[in-house]
Amino acid sequence: MSITSQEAWTAREAETEVPRYVAEAVEEVAFQARDDSRVDKHSGVSQRLPISLLENVVSNAERRALSRGSTTPVARISDLYQALPAVTGKIELEYEGELKGAEQVAREIVRRAIGQVYMRHAADLVVDDVVDYFEADNNLRIADDAEATSLIETARTVPGLVDAASALAEGEGAEQLAAAVEFVLEGLHARKLIARSEERGYVAAEPDAMRGGARRWN
């Protein structure tokens, strides 16, 4: 992470705040890619992957801040998905990976990375009310470029979500809290406790996925 932070071009005109869990997820993507059997081990995965990924994450946070009139860009976990070309452009795939498709392989690698980081940060986080809300056939739609205050107000419709996010937020302010809300949702999605669909947003997990899940990790 120190090498990535040192080498990545993140010192921009508007300084973007990168929460620790986002920075860890960026680095974890490289570790997950190195362990993925669909990634060519002969080509390997260099440090250029997390460096490029972090630069793209920061750029997407800047774009969102500019479009929403925010003076304090804060990177969100969803910015990793927006930066998928930084992953696909830095890995070579085996035949199995080529059949699956580079973008799909990269998306699955990012999801696993987010899940690993979420486990480290949310070991004592109780999310029963959040999961129960979706299991009751409710859904939640959040736009990728949602303004922070609007995102938080939407999140308040889910019992316990904002409280859980508050425990993970780094610093004060709506931007940091909004980023933490996304982290909780994407973490639950990565751990297969909830699902995400193109049509309805965040929804209940499939029953088969829930059997292997856990709402709290030790």
The count of domains in the chain is 2
CB atoms within 10 A of CB 47: 13
In a shared domain, residues 111 and 138: no
Report the pLDDT value the prediction gives residue 138, as an integer from 0 to 100.
Answer: 97
Q: Where is the domain boundary, 121, 153, 177?
A: 121
**pLDDT tens-digit series, residues 62-92:** 999 999 888 889 999 999 999 999 999 998 8
In a shared domain, residues 200 and 146: yes
Residue 157 tokens, joined: 């419709």
48-52, 81-85, 174-178, 195-199: lowest mean pLDDT where? 195-199
In a shared domain, residues 57 and 150: no
Q: Where is the domain boundary, 121, 156, 173?
A: 121
Q: Report the chain's C-alpha Rg in angstroms.
A: 17
Q: Which helix (H) or strand (E) holds 3?
A: helix 2-7
Q: Tokens 């995400």 appear where?
A: 196
In a shared domain, residues 25 and 81: yes
pLDDT of 216 > 90? The answer is: no
CATH number, domain containing residue 21: 1.10.8.80
In a shared domain, residues 202 and 117: no
In a shared domain, residues 11 and 115: yes
Pairing, β 194-197 against β 201-204 = antiparallel
pLDDT of 210 > 80? The answer is: no
Confidence of residue 171 (pLDDT cuts 50, 70, 90): confident
CA distance 29 to 107: 10
Phi, psi of 104 (to 5 degrees): -65, -40
Report the pLDDT value the prediction gives residue 218, as an integer from 0 to 100.
Answer: 38
Give the domain range for residue 138.
128-211
CA angle 94/98/101 to nearest 5° reads 135
Report the pLDDT value the prediction gives residue 214, as an integer from 0 to 100.
Answer: 56
Report the pLDDT value the prediction gives residue 217, as an integer from 0 to 100.
Answer: 44
Percent of the chain with pLDDT over 90: 76
In a shared domain, residues 159 and 100: no
